[in-house]
Structure 1
């Protein structure tokens, strides 16, 4: 897009996002640990916000959530995480509840993992 304005009046800034899954609390705990963030707020039994102090993500229990059948299904979204030490981060994320699918289209550039709800996300070197 040419002429994109990045700051100033009327230009939005992303403060957070919401993600649904089988269990919002489990997802919030997983991503809080993965990112080194803190649980900032809970909303009843079905939604939890994590934050680094500037950005927040809400993870909620979606009643009819179905994990994508990746790579066959198109993804509505996915997260890309930058890490120092991909092998160490992969091992840590797997210990936190991620799984690693056989299909790895990134070669040496990135690794695909599935979060506890089965949603793909990628990790790559910083």
Structure 2
């Protein structure tokens, strides 16, 4: 029997937890579950949420130099529309885009990369 029962939170180090939680709240529509100077989180009522913890001397990942250790993938119904909306609320679109157009890499306001993947289900 596995020891780990359920993933609860994916936590990112950052300089400003409340601001990064606000970005992801706007991007996902999830609720801000916690917001403070040193920790903030967003969730949508499922067992998994995103957390953001203040990291002293935070340095953003540098895409695509290989220093990125983890990133998130989000499915979207309209790839181009999602890119436009997310850039409008503070995301950036790096020049380097692997995948030959099958997905788009963006970075959040603190430099964490995340990918947008078209929803293949059509819903």
Give the TM-score, by structure 2 length.
Answer: 0.87
Counterpart selection for 1:66 from 59, 62, 68: 59
SS in 2 for 1:94: helix
Map of 1:3 onto structure 2: none
Q: Does 1:56 align with 2:49?
A: yes
Which structure is larger by alpha-carbon Rg, 1 or 2?
1
Runs of 4+ with >4 A deviation: 8-11
Instruction: Provide TM-score, normalisation by structure 1.
Output: 0.85
Correspondence for 2:70: 77
Matched, 1:14 2:30: no
- 1:124 is aligned to 117
1:29 paired with 2:27, answer: no
Cα distance between partner residues in 1 of 2:9 and 2:61: 23
Unaligned runs of 5+ in 1: 1-7
C-alpha distance in 2 between matches for 1:120 and 1:107: 17
Structure 2 residue aligned with 1:87: 80
Gapped regions of structure 2 (runs ≥ 5): none
The Cα RMSD (Å) is 1.6
